[in-house]
Structure 1
Amino acid sequence: MNKSPLFLLLVTCLFSGCGAYFNQPVGVQKAAFGENTPATASLAEIPKPKEQIVVGVYKFKDQTGQYKATELGSTFSTAVTQGATSILIKALEDSKWFIPIERENLGNLLNERNIIRSTRQEYAAKTEPNEAVLTPLLFAGVLLEGGIISYDTNIITGGFGARYFGAGGSVKYRQDRVTVYLRLVSTSNGKILNTVYVSKTILSQSVDASLFRYVNLNRLLEVETGFTRNEPIQLAVTEAIEKAVEGLIVDGIKDNIWEVNAPKKQVDTFIEQYDKEKDEANLAQLYNRHLDEKRARFGLELTGGATYMQGDYANPVAKPMGRGALKFFFTPAFDISASTNVFTLGNKNKLDVGYTTLDINLEFLILPQDTFTPYVFGGTGVGFNKDVENVHSKVQFGAGVEYLATNHLGVKLYGEYNLNFTDNIDYVEQGVRDDYYWRFGLGLTYYFPKSYKYNKK
């Protein structure tokens, strides 16, 4: 028995799993300062205020009521952090816009102040006559309320795996989502000045590989490796809260709730970037879908593929095909496609003939505002051979998928059924059924830059 291929496979499996082991924590690690999130940097870039705002946060609670799930059910450990108030206060400090005051444990603060007063009164004779009195507490101009209102698990799950002859591997992923609401309340009249809603996805990934093989009659080889990576929920909650604080600040600038100590041009540029991000978020849907106009009105398509004849001869064979088309979208979902198709039809040892067809189709994109969409089409056309003979009319219909690799370039794969109103496509008229053929294509569509949008009612 030749064991060289098996040995190479074993070595490959071992080294493919080394990446996980090389990054394993194999010793005691020192304490480290907490990681920043992308939203932390955004907070630092906000133009600073003319005067900081005193803000009170009594409680920013976990309102989901969820407990952490396990394979055997659930535990008494909560699914999300119970320390969101501390995270929010840290975000307020990082922004340099607010002066947070202690309100979550106000009772402890008041007790301590009472101890100070009683101690001074009890030992008043031993104190200096000009000793300063206890300074008054700051009061908040605004309050921040809200909380973590949802933690949705398994909003997307999936993976891929393969196994052959005892060797294989798999990749799995899962996506959760946490959502926070934050509102700004005026203490002078109780009016809610603004409310911000922010969501953050949480990704978990798992990769594993294994080998199970009898190397001989009495020797069994079994190898397993893999790793799992989970995005920390606490960091996701932190990023969502920091993003909510940023939204409150910018909306307050736009509504003239507070003033900015920065040049007007800098403030206008910052607000413009925020509005652009907000507009994109308003178009976004669940599963990273963005409902905006992806394709321009005009497109140019080039496709290559194969045809498959179904006529009076047996043993059809695949033959090459080329296609060029112009497309015009009169709505985001519907377009008219005019195409020229050059192709060959053939049967083994019987038929090998070239044709040209001029087709016009009505196409319908099922998900016109998505990057990836299936579509269906149907239309009519006329065909003829290279000598412009054997002219015939036909109808065609089919379906396919298109993926936008860039804003102007789409990749499409489709299949098309062509029904001809003649039985002479293969130059043999036999039976009562007309000849037909299939066309399968893979191609590119270039969408010209958009100069205007579709008319919307």
Structure 2
Amino acid sequence: MHKKVILVCLTGLVLLVSSCSTYFNQPLQQTPSRVGEFSKSTQTLLDLPEAADPVEVAVYNFSDQTGQYKPVENGSTFSTAVTQGATTILIKALEDSGWFIPIERENLSNLSTERSIIRNTKQEYIKNLNPNEPPLPPLLYAGLLLEGGIVSYDTNIVTGGIGARYFGIGGSSRYRQDRITIYLRAVSTSNGEILKTVYVSKTILSQSLDASYFRFVKFQRLLEAETGITRNEPLQIAVKDAIEKAVHDLIVEGIKERFWSTKEGAETNKQLVENYTKEKEEQESIELYNRVFKKRTAKRNLSLSGGVSLIDADYAKKNAGFLARLGYQEKFTRNLGYGFSGSVMQLDSGKQFSDIFSEINLNAYFDILPDDDVAPYIYAGAGGVFNMSGASNKAADTFIKMQYGAGLKYYLSQRLGLKLFAEHNIVFSDELDHVINGKRNDFYFNFGLGLDYYFDF
């Protein structure tokens, strides 16, 4: 009985820990209304310097142009996938920035009707009582129109998960990533010229975590327990984030093109544009799925590597020996290149055989991801291996071989990089270890860590 109690307690503890965020933050009671949440870009927008002269701006419509409806498992729905209130969100972002004076245009007919009522009332009643009553002031007109909209909502661009179950105890985690894209453009009302267009995308993350226990703890006694949590990033907050980022970028782009300026003047303008340009270059180097791309101009490199060699020949014992290598590589294209290298190494089979060898290699290289910071590559070629200790027992001391391998590069900068590699060498002889035994030729493996220096003539 005591063991059963311990088992139940441990099970409950595992379930609690696996989903602690659920238990410590459960919505167990109603909550009052609250001020709307900030998005990730709200504070950046609010931190912009004060404008020298805010611009009157009109937004007629900033709409959902995707035409998508919410996906459902069964049946159909007429609920749209994204919010239809993007115009209101944009106007709020323009107001929060302090750089624009938003003018009502979305419901202009309502405004015109109300002004007509006021004007008629003044004419019929107030004017007779007070001839000095001032007329209704004119409507503000905009120097700038903001157009655009939500142009795409892509679902399930990345999905995945992990899970395991053993003896009735298990858990799993799943995730899904969607993406929303907006375009925002500024149009001059004086001549209709499109002054600037900005493009912003935002990913939307959904996650789930669950754990379960299902097991017979006694004859005809089944213990079953489960828990889980699902978190979905609110779509409205994602739209707000993208719009606020677009407004921020439009403001800085306008400063860059000298359409407007900060109140502090040229020095603040320069610093703001420099920070924005640096951030933009970094973000433009990141492709879909957060892959960081770098443009690499150097096509040649020298490499210095060290590691271990492991013989696979006629003796059973295989000890690790040292490896030192110097190499040169040159690219034909972004992916293809050639290289040659020279190495000194020790092949060691214990007391039976241990010699120092040198080798030369000529290889063709293929870079699988040439523009990534972490880049795998493969290579293959031919070469020779030479016994530096001299032949013995009438064995040869020069051998022809071929090799192939794979590696992983990590670029520290445009000039320096680290690499790991593993290589299989096939010798066209069974005399590498001075013993002929059977029909199989001798092999050896090289494993190394190296430093690359990239340059151009």
Settle same-fold status: TM greater than 0.5: yes
- 1:359 and 1:260 mapped to 2: Cα distance? 64
Aligned to 2:330: 330
How do 1:6-85 and structure 2 match up within 5 A? 8=10, 11-72=13-74, 74-85=76-87
Q: Comparing 147-156 with 285-294, which one deviates more in the overlay?
A: 285-294
- 1:179 and 1:109 mapped to 2: Cα distance? 31
Q: What's the RMSD between the two structures over aligned residues?
A: 3.1
The Cα offsets for residues 304-351 of structure 1, whole Å up to 9 and x where unpaired, read as 5x7362x456xx56643544444555346547463646455559xx96
Aligned to 1:419: 426
Structure 1: give runs of 5+ residues left out of the alignment: none
Aligned to 1:115: 117
Identity %: 47
- 1:355 and 1:264 mapped to 2: Cα distance? 68
Aligned to 2:133: 131
TM-score by length of 1: 0.85
Q: Give the aligned residue type for 2:361.
A: I
Counterpart among 100, 103, 108 of residue 101 in structure 1:
103
- 1:45 and 1:218 mapped to 2: Cα distance? 65
Q: Give the aligned residue type for 2:320.
A: P
SS of equivalent residue, structure 2 residue 274: helix
Counterpart among 238, 258, 261 of residue 260 in structure 2:
258
Structure 2: give runs of 5+ residues left out of the alignment: none
How do 1:338-357 and structure 2 match up within 5 A? 338=341, 340=343, 342=345, 344=347, 346=349, 353=354, 355-357=356-358
In the alignment, is residue 223 of structure 1 matched against residue 230 of structure 2? no
Are 1:392 and 1:422, in contact at CA under 8 Å, matched by a contact in 2?
no
- 1:8 and 1:387 mapped to 2: Cα distance? 64
Aligned to 1:366: 368
- 2:311 and 2:214 mapped to 1: Cα distance? 43
Are 1:327 and 1:335, in contact at CA under 8 Å, matched by a contact in 2?
no
SS of equivalent residue, structure 1 residue 78: coil
TM-score by length of 2: 0.85
The Cα offsets for residues 243-268 of structure 1, whole Å up to 9 and x where unpaired, read as 21122222222222223322322211
Residue 357 of structure 1: how far off its partner (Å): 4.2
Residue 277 of structure 1: how far off its partner (Å): 2.1
Residue 101 of structure 1: how far off its partner (Å): 0.1
In the alignment, is residue 286 of structure 1 matched against residue 288 of structure 2? yes
Distance 1:299 1:435, change over 3 A: closer
In the alignment, is residue 168 of structure 1 matched against residue 174 of structure 2? no
Alignment length (residue pairs): 443
Residue 96 of structure 1: how far off its partner (Å): 1.2
- 1:411 and 1:72 mapped to 2: Cα distance? 51
Q: Give the aligned residue type for 2:436.
A: E
- 2:221 and 2:344 mapped to 1: Cα distance? 60
Distance 1:340 1:160, change over 3 A: farther
SS of equivalent residue, structure 1 residue 123: helix
Q: Comparing 24-33 with 55-64, which one deviates more in the overlay?
A: 24-33
Counterpart among 392, 395, 402 of residue 401 in structure 2:
395
Are 2:293 and 2:373, in contact at CA under 8 Å, matched by a contact in 1?
no
Are 1:146 and 1:182, in contact at CA under 8 Å, matched by a contact in 2?
yes
Aligned to 2:143: 141
Residue 171 of structure 1: how far off its partner (Å): 1.8
